[in-house]
A and B are shown apart, each in its own frame.
Chain A
Amino acid sequence: MINTDVVIIGAGPTGLFCAHQLGIIGLKCEIIDNLDKIGGQCIELYPDKPIYDIPAILECTGEELTNNLIGQIKPFNFNFHLDERVEEIKNENQKWIIKTSKGTKFNSPNIVIGGGVGSFEPRKFSVKECEKFEGKSVFYSVKDKTIFQDKTVAIFGGGDSALDWAIELSNNSKIILVHRRDKFRGVQSNVDKVKKLEKDGKLEIYTPYQLTSAKGNTSLESIEIKHEEGEIKSLKANYVLGFFGLIMKLGPILNWGLNLNKKTIPVNTENFETNLKGIFAIGDICMYPGKLRLILSGFHEGALAARGCFKYARPDEKLRFEFTTTSKSIQSRLKIKK
């Protein structure tokens, strides 16, 4: 059990800056994210796209913003728990017990949900039969590539994940690459490689086709794919891999007893606390009159939520307002040497 002052759910820009504000006021926190990397939507959806509306930053990419936010909290040495999703929370003696998908447990008076629009999960095939084979013959990521040795693998998707695996697995497997349109959006070098592999007879490419059916008893035996114009092809396949990016799902948060409004959590605008004492929501996931879904609004919300956490973490102390420019105690927390 890890004891801390605040558990932050979501390592996006809002969660990161909230951690900074907690560090400034002398609180500890632990940061959990379902993704295997830090940065949330900034890193998953638009790492290379420019952002122009961060105050005093003329232009930066999602990745640059993330790296700067990580740099800013470095002095505090907060722990990250990545690739872990918070599954359960319960209240015991005025504290929250938080349990993740990997079984990590936390005990904290405060939880800050900076969960964006939910946690990222792979997008799946719309074909119903795929559910039956999921985890056995149908996968959305590769954990153990040795199972594909000498088998026929149908790979769906047009981005680099699909192309990378088509190239890699073509060494030891028969590969069928299927995409909904003729153009692949992966990098040109990958596109060139798969075209060459096709020419050399190492893999087959079917475009513009989509999956319409998956057949087999216990394990997958064949699939059907449908051309944009309606023609259907039946192909033998032992495995299917789908790479359609990630989608955000609210997941277990729905079961925690929080008031919800569609996919958002109503909060007060004084400290962004939810209907549950000690649980705060900031960033895209929170809702209040006038809410703007901007990163800068998330920063503001995180700063106030951090102050809201203080009263539960240090019930006997009074928080004194200080500026970073002049406060010796803040500067020592930031490990600034002068």
Chain B
Amino acid sequence: MPKIKYIEHSGKSHVIDVPNGLSVMEGAVQNNVLGIDADCGGSMACATCHVYVKEEWFNKLPQKEEGEEDMLDLAFEPKKNSRLSCQIVVSNEIDGLVVDLPEKQA
């Protein structure tokens, strides 16, 4: 099962086994990783599952849809490597993905 590493803003990290097909957001929410709110439940409508993807991984992920980029306009402190974690689907290709969580979601 792919392992995803979530690093909280405080530096505390969690390595979670997330089944293929779930989103990186679901991997966090279902395993009590704090710092990802996902208020809208994963419909790309709230920007509260915002994460920063480690540089070496950013270009390996499938590209953002325009709707995701639009929502990132509303995220708390967006950066170049920002993504919405509900839009990153876990697969063997992203085994070992590392994401940093923002200080807060809003």
Interface residues of A (CB under 8 A from B): 41, 45-46, 49, 117-118, 123, 126, 157-159, 179-181, 183, 185, 210, 228, 244-245, 247-249, 263, 284, 293
Contacts and interface: CB of A to CB of B under 8 A. Distances in A.
Contacts of A245: 47, 73-74
A333 to B, nearest CB: 34
Given A247-B48, A248-B46, A123 B106 contact: yes
A50 to B, nearest CB: 12
28 contacts: A41-B45, A45-B40, A45-B43, A45-B45, A49-B45, A117-B39, A118-B39, A123-B76, A123-B106, A126-B76, A126-B103, A157-B73, A158-B70, A159-B70, A179-B73, A180-B73, A181-B73, A183-B69, A185-B69, A185-B70, A185-B73, A210-B78, A228-B80, A244-B73, A245-B47, A245-B73, A248-B39, A293-B41
B9 to A, nearest CB: 12
A248 B38 CA distance: 11
Q: Which 10 A-B pairs have the closest CB atoms?
A: A247-B106, A45-B45, A245-B74, A185-B70, A117-B39, A244-B74, A293-B41, A158-B73, A126-B77, A248-B39
Nearest to B106: A247
A284 B39 CA distance: 9
Contacts, number: 52
Contacts of A179: 73
A180 B78 contact: yes
Given A45-B45, A123-B74, 17 more contacts: A41-B45, A45-B43, A45-B46, A46-B43, A49-B45, A123-B76, A126-B103, A157-B73, A179-B73, A181-B73, A183-B69, A210-B77, A244-B73, A244-B74, A247-B39, A247-B48, A248-B46
Interface in B61-85: 69-70, 73-74, 76-78, 80
Contacts of A180: 73, 78
Contacts of B80: 228
Contacts of A284: 41
Nearest to A118: B39
Q: Main secondary structure on chain B at its contact with chain A?
A: loop
B106 to A, nearest CB: 4
Contacts of B39: 117-118, 247-248, 263
Interface in B19-42: 37, 39-41
A118 B39 CA distance: 9
Contacts of B41: 284, 293
A284 to B, nearest CB: 8
A159 B76 contact: no
Contacts of B46: 45, 247-248
A123 B105 CA distance: 10
Contacts of B69: 181, 183, 185
A179 B69 CA distance: 13
Nearest to B78: A180
A157 B58 CA distance: 24
Contacts of A210: 77-78
Contacts of A158: 70, 73
A181 B79 CA distance: 10
Contacts of A41: 40, 45
Contacts of A248: 39, 46
A245 B43 CA distance: 16
B84 to A, nearest CB: 14
A185 B65 CA distance: 13
Contacts of B74: 123, 244-245, 247
B93 to A, nearest CB: 27
A159 B73 contact: yes
